[in-house]
């Protein structure tokens, strides 16, 4: 606990009027003079605060960890994972998602493309349960793209058959659905991680740790001093 002082000129609009009584018939005006007021505060480190004051501090500064681009680290992890595990490149500047409590969160990726076909083929064969014909056509007979979708929807997968495509229309639809479901699962994992990060950042534990890491001082009403 520390006794701190704060000085401010005309703090809280406190003014002292100093006047000299005018002589009879004088036309002089009253002169208003300000003064410097020094106030003393008792300040505490977070762990020194009484229980009720700690609760006030946590409530009043509940967004201290999420009032900036806190998702940058999650974006970096996502782009690294898609590149290293799936052979898909993502432009992080085109990622957007909602972070509003009480609403369903969404994720969209503006630019995404296959950068390592060998790795991509290996993953989708196993995880999207593709058969030999589907794999052969992805490798030789169809082109794949990932168009951006609208708000509150996951990105989709589009197929463009070439002259060497041997899939029927129904088979193409089935392949497209398999790939779209696979991608939706991966994007769902990313969104879930973002939500977990957000929930942690707004938790009492994370907020208190930020108070300690930044060595903040508090007044007894839970406000950060200074």
Residue 134 confidence class, pLDDT cut points 50, 70, 90: very high
The answer to whether residue 33 is domain-embedded is yes
pTM to 2 decimals? 0.72
Q: Do 156 and 58 share a structural domain?
A: no
Same domain, 33 and 122: no
In a domain, 159, yes or no: yes
Tokens 């903040």, located at residue: 216
- State how far the Cα of 99 lies from the Cα of 93, in Å rounded to an integer: 17
Cβ atoms of 187 and 152 within 8 Å: the answer is no
**Domain identity same for 18 and 113:** no
Which has more confidence, 26 or 31? Answer: 31
Q: 183 and 79 in one domain?
A: yes
Q: Residue 160 pLDDT > 60, yes or no?
A: yes
Q: Is residue 212 part of a domain?
A: no
Residue 7 has pLDDT above 60, yes or no: no
> Is 157 or 210 the better-scoring residue by pLDDT?
210
In terms of Cβ atoms closer than 10 Å to its own Cβ (0-12, 13-18, 19+), residue 221 is exposed
Place of tokens 């999650």: 74
49 and 17 part of one domain: yes
Do residues 160 and 187 share a domain? yes
- Mean pLDDT in residue range 82-91: 94
Same domain, 89 and 196: yes
Statement to judge: residues 146 and 34 lie in one domain = no
Q: Tell me, yes or no, whether 163 and 191 share the same domain.
A: yes
Q: What angle do CA 141, 147, 153 make, to 5 degrees?
A: 130
Average pLDDT over residues 162-188: 92
Question: Residue 146: its pLDDT value, please?
Answer: 84
Is the pLDDT confidence value at 101 over 70? Answer: no
Write out the residue range of the structural domain in which residue 15 sits. Answer: 2-62
In a domain, 137, yes or no: yes
pLDDT confidence band for 45 (50 / 70 / 90): very high
Buried b (16+ CB within 10 A) or exposed e, 32-62: eeeeeeeeebebbebeebeeebbebbbeebe
For residue 152, pLDDT over 60 is answered with no
Looking at the DSSP bridge assignments, the partners of residue 40 are 5
- Cα distances (angstroms) measured from residue 152 to each of 12, 107, 138: 47, 7, 28
Last residue of a domain, which of 32, 62, 92? 62
> Mean pLDDT over all residues of the chain?
83
Q: Are residues 171 and 134 in the same domain?
A: yes
- CA torsion, points 168, 174, 180, 186, in degrees to nearest 10? -130
For residues 43 and 106, state if they share a domain: no
């Amino acid at each position: 606990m520390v006794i701190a002082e704060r000085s401010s000129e005309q703090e809280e609009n406190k003014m002292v009027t100093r006047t000299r009584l005018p002589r009879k018939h004088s036309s002089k005006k009253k002169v208003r003079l300000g003064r410097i007021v020094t106030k003393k505060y008792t300040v505490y480190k977070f762990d020194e605060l009484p229980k009720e004051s700690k609760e006030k501090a946590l409530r009043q500064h509940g967004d201290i960890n999420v009032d900036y681009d806190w998702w940058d680290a999650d974006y970096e992890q996502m782009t690294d994972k898609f590149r290293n595990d799936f052979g898909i490149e993502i432009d992080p500047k085109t990622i957007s998602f909602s972070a509003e409590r009480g609403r369903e969160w969404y994720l969209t990726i503006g630019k995404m493309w296959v950068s390592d076909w060998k790795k991509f083929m290996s993953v989708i064969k196993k995880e999207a349960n593709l058969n030999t014909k589907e794999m052969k056509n992805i490798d030789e007979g169809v082109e794949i793209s990932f168009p951006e979708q609208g708000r509150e929807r996951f990105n989709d997968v589009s197929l463009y058959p070439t002259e060497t495509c041997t899939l029927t229309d129904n088979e193409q639809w089935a392949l497209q659905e398999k790939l779209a479901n696979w991608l939706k699962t991966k994007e769902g994992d990313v969104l879930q991680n973002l939500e977990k990060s957000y929930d942690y950042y707004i938790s009492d534990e994370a907020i208190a740790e930020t108070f300690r890491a930044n060595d903040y001082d508090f007044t007894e009403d839970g406000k950060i001093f200074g």
